A and B are shown apart, each in its own frame.
Chain A
Amino acid sequence: MTSRPILRSAPFAALALALAVALPPAVAQNDTDNPAATSGGIPSPEQQKPSGAGPERPGNTNSRESSPMANGASAAVEAGAQQPSGRLPEPKPIPLVPAHPVWNTFHGQLNAQKYSPLTEITADNVQSLAKVWEFHTGDVSDGSGKLPTTVWSATPIFANDTLYIGTPFYRVIALDPGTGKVKWTFDSKSTLKALTQPALKNRGIAYWEAAHPVANRPCQKIVYLGTMDAQLFAMDADTGQLCRDFAKGGVLDVNQWNHVNDKYPLSLLQPPTVAGNHVILGWAGKDWAYAEAPPGIVFSLDPQTGKRQWAFSALPPQIAARTGTANVWTAMSVDEGLGLVYLPVSSPSPNYWGGNRTEPIPLATSTTALNLETGEVVWSRQWVHHDIWDYDINSAPTLMDITVNGKQIPALMQATKMGFLFVVDRRTGKDVWPIEERPVPGGDGSIKGEVYAPTQPFPTKPAPLLDQSKKPPIWSVADVLGLGECSRLWDSLDYKGMYTPPTRKGEGTFAYPDSAGGVQWGGVAYDPQSKTAIVNFSHVVQYIKLYPRKEYEQHTGGSGNEQGFYPQEGAPYGMSLDNALNWLGMPCWKPPFGEIAAIDMRTGDIKWRRPVGASQKWGFYMPESMGSVTIGGPVVTAGGVIFIGASMDAKVRAYSLTDGKELWSDIVQAPAVANPAVYEYKGREYVAFIAGGNTILKDQVGDQVVVYALP
């Protein structure tokens, strides 16, 4: 169900005029394949001049206190960044929710709702769900041999009557959706080295098909696979043969555009976002390693030729070389009707010190809406000013049409690591419920060169998923067994709320939620029938400390995934990040460790919340009332069922949409850290999970594709 009354009533002439005004700056932002003309894809300062005031000022954050850094518009002028134009493209009659069941993108649909209208499996019969087939790819490593460990977060794509799987060995496997029988495989023969991320990772593949296919010509339907060494492969979806017209023989070297701070390749671990005639690429980098890193450019490509259509960088060109990233780690969402692509933009480099980027960077740590055809910034909302906490926006915003106080609003919900859910009008970026700028603590004077944002945005609705105003209570069991270790740690760490800046004093800063907490890349699912948003989130406490360079170099110690010592090379400070655990490895904070919640999007109120999954260590399960840290997200169906894996205990579960009651579960090979896929094939409804594991949760890996249906 979609409702865009304003767009429907907009006169054609006004739109034509708006387009005429919008087109020149949009075209100016466009670039070509000529790397010399557009080094690194970053638009030049001339190209980044403000494109004129749009009809809407980006955002309307309410300031309780004057905040120059928090003011998006003035900050953008100061920094010479891309000014949001506010100009909407001409609308198209494309509904937000597809008329037929589709699961052809990373998040099911381009709206990122992860919603299936299928009703064969319901809350009443889901208990009968049974495994109908499973497939093991063989592409798995536990890190004990020559290969790095694998992390597999790929949601299967159902398209062309085929289930397509990308693997962490950078292969594509096309499977019969009803039986799991292999149709074809493609091997990129990519290097299997951890060039950027500490593991071999794959978050899936993407699918495109021509609106008007040419008969008897290959590559009218294409599957795209990215690799860690920045190669994008395009192959015929029917045969798995490379599309020879795409770039060079079917392979695009995206690293050809890596010119600024090219310390590592632009790893294509997440699938591109495919919308209309655009294949839109973000890329993954190397966290916490460098102060100066490649700028996080997003590229739009022609789906059949690989020719670059436009590029976008959140970093102003005059700042880009001395910082970096502000990249897009995950899939994006698209409203094809509005002609906008929504980018979840991450924080600039380095993650925990900002002395090299004291100017405002208003498009970083943001949701930014681009014109799908031109890449022009239409609006942007920054969710963390001067981010020095690694609060990357890491999940695609979920697009939804809601009615609040009798008013129909085309909205989007942006989930965050902070446990905030920001809801704005997706045409303008304006608040649906007020988002207030509130004062936050400054530094303690121990960090040279740092500046601090005086305020940060706080949503008033929905309520924060976590209470970030004070330290969470200590888990007495862990404290007793740790002989008071947890209490001592709590007392030694500074915390004045979530935005307490990193310090070099004492044991460091208490980090809650931290970069691994809150909502991760699974994002929010949305049921358009009951207007209910579903989100899983984690309670994780870590602590961060900065070390002056010489002191840092004196430290030795391993650095695991998401914790340990990290150099931030090029910055005056290295850093450490540790989980708050006792000597037995038990979390020091009181459970639950992970929850799932349902939110009524008519009121913004939480309908229910409950612990999700179970924690597991050395095989021992903790009570389900304690929940589990989760990575991966939910899907929701019109049958009133929520499916989710995501938890440490390597189980996949079904919950009731109505009340959150657990209805069904099964054990899989490893934690299912990808969102499930729900599809219909030959009249039967299937639910597919990838059980691949993620070392952030625990050292358990898998190569299992497992599919369930009713008997």
Chain B
Amino acid sequence: MHLTSPERRPLGPFIVLVAAAAGALLALYYYLVPLTGITGTPGALLVIGSSLALVVDALVLWFSGRGMLFGVFWTLGLIGALCTVTAACFLHAWWLSAAMVVVLVGLVVALAAPSRPRRAAA
């Protein structure tokens, strides 16, 4: 099944996907493990949710080509990553902040990468 170009992996969405997934795992760690400073707090729950939303966002970017959908989800991803990095800073969740910076880098890469022909699903 070839949903994208077989020659090139969409690097930007891939970076976003990996970093957002890492962020979700880190947020889960902060929420569940004792003595993180934010164990069991609504703030930690919030960044779990926002990190998971960024995972979904990365998948949409991966499969959406360069159309309007890409634009919408790229913008949503940017807002989500900025808000999550801000929240992570206020939560003193520094590793999560770092993951969100990588998400932002991935978004920039996705935008800067040359457009590629979109293949229909097999």
Contacts and interface: CB of A to CB of B under 8 A. Distances in A.
A669 interface: yes
A667 B37 contact: yes
Nearest to A666: B35
Contacts, number: 29
A651 interface: yes
Interface stretch (B76-84, B85-93, B98-106): B85-93
Contact of A651 (B37, B87, B91): B37
Contact of A669 (B34, B46, B91): B34
A621 B34 contact: no
A410 B106 CA distance: 68
A620 B37 contact: no
Interface in B23-70: 34-38, 41-44, 46
Interface in A597-626: 618-622
A345 interface: no
Contact of B38 (A619, A622, A651): A619
A618 B45 CA distance: 10
B33 to A, nearest CB: 11
A620 B90 contact: yes
A620 B36 contact: no
Contacts of A642: none
A649 interface: yes
Contacts of B41: 618-619
Q: How large is the interface on B (under 10, 10 to 19, 20 to 34, 35 or more residues)?
A: 10 to 19
B42 A619 contact: yes
Given A619-B91, A620-B87, A650 B37 contact: yes
Contacts of A667: 35-37
B35 A668 contact: yes
Contacts of A649: 37
A669 B87 CA distance: 21
B19 to A, nearest CB: 21
Contact of A620 (B34, B35, B91): B91
A418 B46 CA distance: 39
Contacts of A651: 37
B35 A618 contact: no
B52 to A, nearest CB: 17
Contacts of B91: 619-621
A668 B34 CA distance: 9
A273 to B, nearest CB: 34
A669 B40 CA distance: 11
Nearest to A649: B37
A669 B33 CA distance: 11
Contacts of A620: 43, 87, 90-91
B37 A618 contact: no
Interface in A242-292: none
Contacts of B46: 618
B76 to A, nearest CB: 23
Which residue, of A619, A650, A668, has the highest number of chain B Cβ atoms within 10 A?
Answer: A619
A311 B92 CA distance: 52
Nearest to A667: B37
B43 A669 contact: no
Contacts of A650: 37
B38 to A, nearest CB: 4
Contacts of B37: 619, 621, 649-651, 667
A618 B34 contact: no
A609 B90 CA distance: 25
Interface in A661-689: 667-669
Nearest to B47: A619
Contacts of A622: 90
Nearest to A621: B92
A621 B42 CA distance: 13
Contacts of A618: 41-43, 46
Nearest to B92: A621
A622 B38 CA distance: 13
A611 B21 CA distance: 37
A375 B35 CA distance: 47
A619 B35 contact: no
Contacts of B43: 618-620
- 10 A-B pairs closest in CB distance: A619-B43, A619-B41, A619-B38, A620-B90, A618-B42, A667-B37, A618-B43, A620-B43, A667-B35, A621-B92
Interface of A: 618-622, 649-651, 667-669
20 contacts: A618-B41, A618-B42, A618-B43, A618-B46, A619-B37, A619-B38, A619-B43, A619-B91, A620-B87, A620-B90, A620-B91, A621-B37, A621-B91, A622-B90, A650-B37, A667-B35, A667-B37, A668-B35, A669-B34, A669-B35
Given A618-B46, A621-B91, A669-B34, 11 more contacts: A618-B42, A620-B43, A620-B87, A621-B37, A621-B90, A621-B92, A622-B90, A651-B37, A667-B35, A667-B36, A669-B35
Interface of B: 34-38, 41-44, 46, 87, 90-92
